[in-house]
Amino acid sequence: MSRRIIGVLAVITVLSALILASYTWPNDEIEPTINANIVETRGFDLTDDNTGSHCSGSVLVFKENRVVVKILVKLSKAEGDFGGFSFTCDSNLIPVSVNTGFGVGLHANGAFIQKGSIYGDGGVVHIGNEWFDVPANEKMDGFAEIVFQSSRATDIADIKISIGVGSKIKDDLPVIYPTRENITIDLGALDT
C-alpha cells in the first residue's frame, strides 16, 4: 500500500511541476521601459518677486509617431496671488491632459485649459488662477502633470514652451504671469 501512495504522490508531484512550469505569471508579460522615446529634458525654477509664488520642475519631450511634451511641476501659490501659473505650448502642440493634486476642497485641481485662437495651433493650461475659480486669498501647494501633444504625426521643427507665475497690479490694472521663463527645444537638431 505504501508503494501505491508513493507512486500517486510522485505522479502528483510531476504533474504539479509541469503545470507550474508552463504557467505564465502576469508580471512576466510586463516589460518595463526606462526613458522610452525621450529626446530631450529641461528643468525650470521660477519665483515671482511680486507674490512669492514659486514653481519648479521638468519638461520631458517624447517623439515617436507624435510629439508629446510632459511637464512635471511642483507648485506653491502664495496668498494674495490672483494669477497662479500658466503653461503654454505652441508649434501645433495642444494640451490633452492635466493631472494635479493642487489646492484643497472645492478648489482642488483648480486647472483650466484653453486651446487655439490667441495661442495659434497650441494652447495654455492655467492652474490656481482666480479668474478660473481659485481664490487669491488662499495659499496652495501641490504637484501637476501637464501633457501637450501634437495633433497629428508631424515634423515639428522646434517647440516653444512658456511658463508664467504670479500676478501684480500695474497702473490700476491686474497683470497675470509677470514672471516668465521661455524654453525652446530645436527638434531638428536632435534628429541628427
How many whole angstroms separate alpha carbon 178 and alpha carbon 158? Answer: 24
The reply to whether 20 falls in a domain is no
The reply to whether 122 falls in a domain is yes
What tens digit of pLDDT does each residue of 11-42 get? 667 666 656 566 555 665 667 777 778 888 99
The reply to whether 14 falls in a domain is no
- The cell for 135 is 481664490
Q: Do the bridges between strand 93-100 and strand 85-89 make them parallel or antiparallel, or are there none, so unpaired?
A: unpaired
Give the pLDDT mean for 124-148: 80
The reply to whether 17 falls in a domain is no
Residue 192: pLDDT band (50, 70, 90) is very low
The reply to whether 100 falls in a domain is yes
* DSSP secondary structure letter of residue 151: S
Total number of domains constituting the chain: 1
CATH code of the domain covering residue 159: 2.60.40
* DSSP secondary structure letter of residue 142: E
Distances (CA, A) of 122 to 7, 60, 113, 140, 146: 73, 17, 11, 27, 14
Q: Quote the pLDDT of residue 67.
A: 87
Q: For residue 60, what are the β-bridge partners?
A: 41, 70
CA-wise closest residue to 53 among 133, 120, 136, 125:
136
Q: What's this model's pTM, rounded to 2 decimal places?
A: 0.76
What tens digit of pLDDT does each residue of 34-69 get? 777 888 899 999 999 999 999 999 999 988 788 889
The reply to whether 28 falls in a domain is no
How many whole angstroms separate alpha carbon 18 and alpha carbon 32? Answer: 28
The reply to whether 147 falls in a domain is yes
Domain encompassing residue 147: 38-190
